[in-house]
Amino acid sequence: MATEPCPSKKSSAGHTGAAKDPYNDPLFVPENYVQHTLLTTTPLPPITSSSFFREVEWISVFALTGIPAASLYGALTTTLRLPTFLLAFAYYFYTGLSITAGYHRLWAHRSYNASLPLQIFLLLGASGAVQGSVKWWSRGHRAHHRYTDTDLDPYNALRGFFYSHIGWMLVRPRRTIGKADVSDLGKDPLLQWQHRHFTWLIFIMAFGVPTAIAHFGWGDAKGGFVYAGIVRLLVVHHSTFCVNSLAHWIGDSPFDDKHTPKNHFLTAIVTVGEGYHNFHHQFPTDYRNAIEWYQYDPTKWFIWLMECVGLASQLKMFPSNEIQKGELLMEMKRLREKQERVEWCKHADQLPVVSYESFQKQSTKRPLVLVSGFIHDLSGFLEHHPGGKPLLARYIGKDATTAFFGGVYDHSHAAHNLLSMKRVGILDGGHPHILDIAKLVPPGELMRVVKFGETFPPSGSWTEGEETAWSDEDAPKAVKDIESDDNASPIEEDGHLFKTSAPEHPVPRRVEMFQQGIMRKALRIQSRLADPKDEMSVGFTFVSPVERNQSPYRLTGLFLRSRCQRECVVTILFVSFDFVSSDTLQRIVCAASDMNVSHPSPIYSRIKVAQSGANPHSAGPSERLCFEIRCPPVSWEGRTNAV
């Protein structure tokens, strides 16, 4: 029964009246068709005791209860002969295959083309399966694919196993199933003929043909009617029904887990190869259900054989590259879940910074060893060290980095991972060079499964630390403010002219945020070194916010840090800037360096462009931009000096 749309106050176009149907009105497309339909249509009222008999689909109830009862009675009163058993099995396979290769993959999904003889062969066999005409069957199945696991899905698996198996056929649905286009089937004269004469085809193909074969073949008309007719029909029915129920309940999801379809070998056995349902729902136009040679899919083999003999053509296969993407995504999801169950070591921002004196003092109380700038507590491990306790004990209170990485023994990845779990602090100024990844990062963390946005944040921020240089709202406006500053004064540095705002002018908040983000990073880096002669470099990445009609850009570079006398010099070297012009990059750095920054120590900077290539004034993506900051040393703030 069709449902009537609810009255709508006003459509999106501003006209009053009933809500438009996006399926029929191409000018109106809702954000979500399923939600739109559920909101604009009224379901039938709940079934009550007084309306129960009117709501029951009695023909379906008779078929789904009468056939099992007749099968049981016939089996108890009729002797099963071997030729009849073989006929029943062969006829089951023929009618079942006609549903999977004909109704399903040929007409519902158009996954291949069939010659007229093959179409007739499949059409007659599917009629013997007694599951409705091609048009009726395909209309429900296309709706099932379009609205999977929603209230517009005719056999919604989320409503329970029984409902998706046979319950949906027993009573009138409370909602009309979602719309699906079957106009192509209505234009096929062969399918129109089947739809008109389907009742007669049922009696002929479901019962007449098997009874006649058994009667004229070996004189067992009753056995042919009971076993090859009624019992076989019962098995075919529930074999097909398992595609709607069992295939959504047991198995795994190697291609996608957005919906309920699953892959399982058992389902493939009972459904003539339709058990790899997760693949099918992801790639419905593929003529295969199983893509591996060892997976059971006789329907696929039959279609391929028909192509070999010239009865089928244009077999559709989804691109292998896209199939692998689905598999890879699901593998990464499983790895991500496994990764989150694993305990990982503490990172630098989770550990206290400890002075060398404190490290020495604490080492007299417990076995502390320094490796790669991290302080490790080896309590409870000395006795279990494979190389012996004496060898490990000699490095207590000392730096064992060289010894650990080959000086005494080149330890395994497992040893490095285990050592990282014993981190308790960072030696002030003892952090290793960022480029020496092998010593800095435990092997177990060299590869991680991350979600989009975890590595390259969608908003403007530095990946090292938590400060945000620009907000999504402010970033593009910062450059605009620089360009439109009428009081800007040109300065010349190293042969290049930049237009920057004068320091005495008020600092736009957006530019100040970006500037302070850079300064905080510089001050954090320069404060890590205890020895004035030390040098270090730290990598960073800045990702711009995404604005409408604009591509995001990414700046990747190094903080190069050194000390000269009582001053700290931090050079920011942009070694890569993707999706951003050199002119934009120069404006960004000029704005960050020449604006006033609120800080107790005087900070000044200069900007230069170091060009690579023969022509020092050439422009393009090969440019390397340096930005130096000079400031007096500062100490760590807000960090404890105890391990």
Q: How far apart are the first and last CA of the chain?
A: 74
Contact 522, 601 (CB under 8 A): no
From the list 129, 116, 105, the residue with the least C-alpha distance to 193 is 116
State the pLDDT at residue 545. 45
State the pLDDT at residue 441. 81
Pairing outcome for strands 461-462 and 489-493: unpaired
State the pLDDT at residue 41. 87
Is 388 contained in some domain? Answer: yes
Whether 177 and 318 map to the same domain: the answer is yes
In this model, does residue 363 exceed pLDDT 80?
yes
CATH code of residue 430: 3.10.120.10
In which band, very low, low, confident or very high, does the pLDDT at 432 lie, cut at 50, 70 and 90? low
Whether 159 and 201 map to the same domain: the answer is yes
In which band, very low, low, confident or very high, does the pLDDT at 30 lie, cut at 50, 70 and 90? confident
Pairing outcome for strands 423-427 and 374-377: antiparallel
Whether 150 and 185 map to the same domain: the answer is yes
- Count of domains for the chain: 3
Element (H, E) at 122: helix 116-127
Q: Name the more confident of 354 and 101.
A: 101
Crossing angle for the helix pair 189-196 and 134-146, to the nearest 10 degrees? 110
Q: Which of 5-14, 40-49, 257-266, 415-424 has the lowest mean pLDDT?
A: 5-14
Whether 431 and 465 map to the same domain: the answer is no
By percentage, how much of the chain surpasses pLDDT 70? 65
Crossing angle for the helix pair 116-127 and 189-196, to the nearest 10 degrees? 20
User: Both tokens of residue 142?
Assistant: 């296309």
State the pLDDT at residue 571. 53
Is 31 contained in some domain? Answer: no
State the pLDDT at residue 151. 94
Whether 163 and 59 map to the same domain: the answer is yes
Is 643 contained in some domain? Answer: no
Whether 186 and 314 map to the same domain: the answer is yes
Is 335 contained in some domain? Answer: no
Q: How do residues 76-95 score in pLDDT, each as one tens digit?
A: 999 999 999 999 999 999 99
The last residue of one of the domains, among 330, 363, 383, is 330
Amino acid present at 33 = Y
Q: How do residues 459-492 score in pLDDT, each as one tens digit?
A: 333 333 333 332 333 333 333 332 333 333 333 3
Contact 479, 488 (CB under 8 A): no
For 94, the 3-state DSSP assignment is helix
From the list 629, 618, 559, the residue with the least C-alpha distance to 592 is 629
d(CA 630, CA 263): 63
Q: Which of 256-260, 492-496, 511-515 has the lowest mean pLDDT?
A: 492-496
From the list 217, 142, 148, 212, the residue with the least C-alpha distance to 181 is 142
User: Residue range 344-362: average pLDDT?
Assistant: 87
Contact 88, 82 (CB under 8 A): no
Contact 171, 162 (CB under 8 A): no
Whether 377 and 236 map to the same domain: the answer is no
Residues in the chain, overall count? 643
Q: How do residues 582-637 score in pLDDT, each as one tens digit?
A: 455 555 555 444 433 333 222 223 233 332 333 333 333 333 444 444 444 433 33
In this model, does residue 394 exceed pLDDT 70?
yes
User: Both tokens of residue 104?
Assistant: 């399903």
Crossing angle for the helix pair 509-526 and 582-594, to the nearest 10 degrees? 80
Is 43 contained in some domain? Answer: no
Whether 230 and 324 map to the same domain: the answer is yes
In this model, does residue 232 exceed pLDDT 90?
yes
Whether 277 and 406 map to the same domain: the answer is no
Residue with tokens 């007694």: 130
User: Both tokens of residue 551?
Assistant: 């591509």
Is 454 contained in some domain? Answer: no
In which band, very low, low, confident or very high, does the pLDDT at 283 lie, cut at 50, 70 and 90? very high
Whether 417 and 517 map to the same domain: the answer is no
The last residue of one of the domains, among 445, 477, 502, is 445
Whether 439 and 508 map to the same domain: the answer is no
State the pLDDT at residue 438. 63
Burial of 46 (0-12, 13-18, 19+ CB in 10 A): exposed
The last residue of one of the domains, among 445, 472, 500, is 445
Whether 596 and 544 map to the same domain: the answer is yes
In which band, very low, low, confident or very high, does the pLDDT at 521 lie, cut at 50, 70 and 90? low
d(CA 187, CA 315): 22
For 368, the 3-state DSSP assignment is strand
Q: How do residues 398-430 score in pLDDT, each as one tens digit?
A: 989 889 988 899 899 999 999 999 999 988 866
Is 336 contained in some domain? Answer: no
Cβ neighbours of 116 (radius 10 Å): 9
d(CA 598, CA 578): 31
**Domain encompassing residue 354:** 348-445
Helices (runs of H) and strands (runs of E) counted in the chain: 26, 14
Is 341 contained in some domain? Answer: no
From the list 271, 229, 230, 224, the residue with the least C-alpha distance to 247 is 271
In this model, does residue 204 exceed pLDDT 90?
yes
pTM of the model as a whole: 0.66
Contact 125, 232 (CB under 8 A): no
In this model, does residue 140 exceed pLDDT 50?
yes
In this model, does residue 359 exceed pLDDT 50?
yes
